[in-house]
Amino acid sequence: MDGHLDRRRFLQGTAALALGLGVGASACGPQGAAEGTPLKFWNLFTGGDGARMMELVTAFQQARPEVSLQATTLSWGTPYYTKLAMAAAGGRSPDVAVLHLSRLAGYAPAGLLDPYDPALLAEFGLTASAFPAAAWQRAQHQGLVYALPLDTHPLVLFYNTEICGKAGLLGPDGRLLPLRGEAALLDAFRRAKQAGAQQGVVMAVSADINPWRLFWTLYRQQGGELFDPAATRLVLDEAKALRALKFLRAITVESGVARGDLNNNAAVAMFGSGQAGFFWNGEWEMPTFVEQNTPFDVIPFPAIYDTAGVHGDAHALVLPHRADRDPARTRAAVDFVRFLLQHSLTWAKGGHIPAYRPVATSPEYAQLGPASRYAAAADSLELDPPCWFGGAASELQNRAGAVFSQVCAGGLTPEAAIPEFTSAMRTLLATPRPQL
């Protein structure tokens, strides 16, 4: 680095840290690549997702031997986003990176991403008609496309086919009978427990981000908004929020069908070992149950209220800001993105719904079994509100989760949770947006 740090670069670094870590945190990010080095790709995938992504990277290297590509995996969440923001703030970022689409509102307006060239997207066939409408809309900022969704990954409802069969919850085709409304869902959970399950349903509701995801699903199904369109003012509908929280409390505290103190690992283990009739979580857990030979199937999360909206997100491919962006390297980067999208059937085997419509509507995807049975959820995806402090592993999710987890554990009533939640949201709204 230079021997001095001017004011602009200092402010860029400070803002990037706020976007990566949240209010008041700090860290150090890596330097990007200079011209002439391999095309650099950053991602945050480990486990099965990591293996599938490396399979795609290897396939690209074999198909494009003339392109030198270096893939780097960084830790999911705060560490990843801090390093990506710092690299982009300095203009020395990787050529391509993965970004949760819910994070775009914090990155594109701050100048941390470069937009895709519309002519290049059209040439490569990467236009609006190739993606789900909701995801495509969130991929834009000021009329320009800043992200290309690789997938959508919503919350879904897993069910143990053996337990639900004993409980009389399956139809002649062996699939779960339709569920609609609070009473029907609670009744299904009770019947699963009466059929021998230790828990009617398991959910990750300890102090993490999942309670926010569950709340947002139920709140958005009622049409509730959290902020005004500019994300400058809280517009919480307290009646709808209270209804959602009361239902979560009914499941985890009052009905006896679920525990309100499980973390994600415990919930996954209980369902995978046949101790629960249902499991409410993200579709990304599906490979675990396949590997364990758990007797299960999966459906989109039911419409409990007015719509079938469900919390979810999308892994998207972005062009982090580079001060020395070269047209030839950018073209190679977009070609790599197109390759990932065209071959995203491999990615879908991990449970994620392909965002690229030619794959999502293909016969091959339809034959993936459980992985294709909740594809309709892509059209009902409810991402976090588009604010700079929202999205995956964000301050919004963490602060909301800290409040709502207490409701699920029985330590806080839904009525008492509303003012705590609104106070946390107003604090975030009052925090100045980082300026570059």
Q: Which CATH class is domain 155-312+394-430?
A: alpha beta
Rounded to whole angstroms, the Cα distance separating 264 from 250 reads 20
Residue 6: per-residue pLDDT? 40
Find where tokens 């950053």 sit: 42
Give residue limits of the domains in the chain: 7-150+314-378, 155-312+394-430
Dihedral of the alpha carbons of 189, 195, 199, 204, in degrees to the nearest 10 = -50
Quote the pLDDT of residue 20.
Answer: 55
Pairs from 220-227 (Cβ < 8 Å, separation ≥ 24): 220/307, 220/309, 220/311, 220/382, 221/303, 221/304, 221/305, 221/306, 221/307, 221/308, 221/309, 221/310, 222/305, 222/306, 223/306, 223/307, 225/385, 226/385, 226/425, 227/385, 227/387, 227/425, 227/429
Give me the pLDDT at residue 434, please.
72
Q: What is the dihedral of CA 140, 144, 150, 154, to 10 degrees?
A: 10
| Prediction pTM value | 0.91
- pLDDT for position 22: 46
Per-residue burial over 282-291, b = 16 or more CB atoms within 10 Å of its CB, e = otherwise: bbbbbbbbee
> Which phi and psi (to 5°) does residue 274 adopt?
80, 20
pLDDT along the chain (436 residues), means of 10: 36 48 35 59 96 98 96 95 94 94 96 97 97 95 98 97 98 97 98 98 91 98 97 97 98 96 96 98 95 97 95 98 92 98 97 97 94 92 96 95 97 98 98 77
Q: Which residues pair with 71 in a beta bridge?
A: 41
pLDDT digits (tens, 9 = 90+) for 57-66: 999 999 999 9
- CA end-to-end span of the chain, whole Å? 19
7-150+314-378 classified as CATH 3.40.190.10:
yes
Amino acid 96 reads V
155-312+394-430 matches 7-150+314-378 in CATH topology: yes
C-alpha gyration radius of the chain: 22
- Which two three-digit tokens encode residue 83? 């390093």
Q: Please tell me the predicted confidence (pLDDT) of residue 295.
A: 98
pLDDT, position 5: 35
pLDDT at 33: 34
